[in-house]
Structure 1
Amino acid sequence: MELQNKVAVVTGGASGLGRAACDQLAAAGVKVAIFDLNEELAQEAVQALGPDKVRYQRVDVSDEQSVATAIADTVDVFGAIHLCVNCAGIGSAGKVLNRDNEPLPLAAFEKTLAVNLTGTFNVARLAAAQMAKNPPQGEAGERGVIINTASIAAYEGQMGQCAYAASKGGIVGLTLPMARDLATLGIRVNTIAPGIMGTPLMRAAPQQVQDNLVAAIQFPKRMGLPAEFGSLVVHIASNTYLNGETLRLDGGIRMQAR
């Protein structure tokens, strides 16, 4: 897809990987609607990237009406939606049974799935409905691109990651059938599965924790850069033949049990 003057929705776009995606898309000439709950950080992004290019919507991705309203507002302001980048998510930790053999609260498991998995599907489906209205573009007749964010935990979930790994594994599982569902409309669907990324949250971890994680990375021996995630978003959006795939962005790491 030619990105100049296109419109993207980026969930979780106020910080971390989502913010990196916003930065790279805006640099490529894309107008961006940030869907996030963190208004302070989102407004910082708007001011940094330009209020004429970036708009903020306070959105709970797991709430149908919240997303539907924000989608409609984005179309009213920017005229269309061509890209959807789902980065919103929450981390969670908890073993199936704790040290006292008490089970993980079901509500904790359900909340992780509601935000990470159901939230991703919720935004993707409503964005796709708008993309379907776009006139076909280019030789392929492309109408839109959806890029979801999973995690290497989808493949190598560690101890205490049942809820998180299940939510991210679900996103990987969504990728191909969603791409097949939307293929006749000219809408592509791909997923990025990041590894150990140097987001502000990860950089705040104790140094020993950071060092142990980096030691397991094959090459290069460092955390991934958020900008590398953002550049992969731009590449996926631009490469029309890339469809139905999950791409690991992880420096070759394969996580151990703990």
Structure 2
Amino acid sequence: MKASSRALAVLALVVGLVAPVAPAAAETAQYQVLVFSKTTAYRHGSIPAGIAAIEKLGQENGFGVDTTEDDGQFTDANLARYDAVIFLSTTGDPVTSPAAKAAFERYIQAGGGYLGVHAASDSGYRWAWYGGLVGAYFRDHPAIQPALVRVVGQGTEVTRGLPNKWWRTDEWYNFQTSPRGSVRVLARIDESTYNPVGYTGGHMGEDHPMVWCHNYDGGRSVYTALGHTDASYTEPFFLKHLLGGIRMAAGQAKFNCDPN
């Protein structure tokens, strides 16, 4: 019996020493984001690639990611769980009910964060408040083709580490209006690099914003028009850009977005 007691005591000691290791090994999310990808018009084939990329970024950078296409989750209680909501290529009228719209507005007004990716600007045409949040509504685009993105917003997380002259292939949006004056423009497209004979191209002139951020109605808003293609979500520079946008929207990085 004494030998058995000693064995049990040793076992208890070992368990006591080992037990704390499991919780210590489990990573605790530093913050939480919600990826919203509902579409009621054109649906981008790159949405699954975008979701997978954001989930991987979360695993690698210590933040939690939930995903939904149910705007019924836009309630005060549920949205309060998130530091940012990412509209990933949403189109049409993805938030339909007045209650869901009102809850999302209160979320932003309470200091919440928004990141719009690509077709997020092709959303909410009948929701004027949302138009102000995203900064500008989509107009049209030419064929997918390479072009030069000029990174002009230095000192922000969404542009950190990007080349000043960033050549890449994407679907280059034209917007119904320019957001400049209401937002800080962080990158613009050089229309002269994708308007050769035989192509349609940009319709906004020399000042054609593609990435911007601004404080809006009490909260934070970041928008990037990039991210149409599946390949975008494996490009190191684009992933760096996307992570920076997430961190800024979630309040985890400096939000230096004064339009002036």
TM-score bracket for the superposition, by shorter chain length? 0.3 to 0.5
Larger Rg: 2
| TM-score normalised by the chain length of structure 2 | 0.40
| TM-score normalised by the chain length of structure 1 | 0.41
Structure with the largest fraction of helix: 1
